Structure 1
Amino acid sequence: MPTLRFEGYSDDTFGEVLHTKDDYDNCASGRPIEYLVSDPATGLGIVVTGQHCPGASGSWMIGVANHDPDYSDRDFPRWPMRLEAQNYRNGFQPALVIEAPEGVKLTCLTRDGGDED
C-alpha cells in the first residue's frame, strides 16, 4: 500500500512528494492545483486540491473531493487519510497523507487539463 503525501511549497508549487514525487508549479498565479488519485482496479478516485492562501494565512489549504465525473453517486474511497504538519520542508505548512491501494494512478489535472492564461 503506497503512502502519498501532498504538500505545497512557497507560494507556487504543490504536489505529491513521497511516492511519485510529482509536483506542479503554477508560477504564483493564485490558481488551485488539482491532482486525480485513482484506483484502476475499482474505478474509485479522489481529487486533491492545493490552494495557496495569501494574506492572513500565507500557507496552503488542501482539500479532497470525490471523483465522480458522471454524477453517478460513486462511493467515496475508504482510504485512510490524515492531515499532518510538514516534516522536512517547513513545519508551518499542512500535508495530506493518503494510504492508497496498490496500483494507484496519479494525474495532475492542472497540467493535463491546462493551466491556461
Structure 2
Amino acid sequence: MTMQYKQLTQTISTHLAHLHKTQAGVMKGFGDMGKTAMAGGALDPKTKELIALAVGVAARCDGCIGFHTKALARLGATTEEVHEALGVAIYMGGGPVAMYAANAVAAFTEFAAPVQA
C-alpha cells in the first residue's frame, strides 16, 4: 500500500482542529513548545527538522514523517540531507526503522515534487 502523505497530513490537521477546540490549553502549549524547539539557535531550523524526522521515523510515526518531510521540503532540504538523517535513524533503530525510512523517502519525494499546473 502506498501512503499519500499530503492527504495524511491534511486529515490529521482536520482531526487536530477538534482537539484545538476541546483541549485549547494543551494544544496551545504543545504548539508553543514546538515553535520554541524548532526556532533557530545553535542549530538552524532545517537541522532541527532533520533530527525531528529521524526521531519520527525511529518512533514509527507516519504523521511525524508527513509533517517533518513537508517542513524539510519547505526549508529546501536536499534529498542527500534527508537520506543521511534517515541513515542515522536506521543505524539507531535497525530493520523496522529502515521500513519507515523508506516511507520517509516517499513522503519527502511527494512534498518536494514540483507543483503541476
TM-score (structure 2 length as normaliser): 0.31
Bigger strand fraction: 1
Higher helix share: 2
Please tell me whether Structure 1 or Structure 2 has the larger radius of gyration of its CA atoms. Answer: 2
TM-score normalised by structure 1 residue count: 0.31
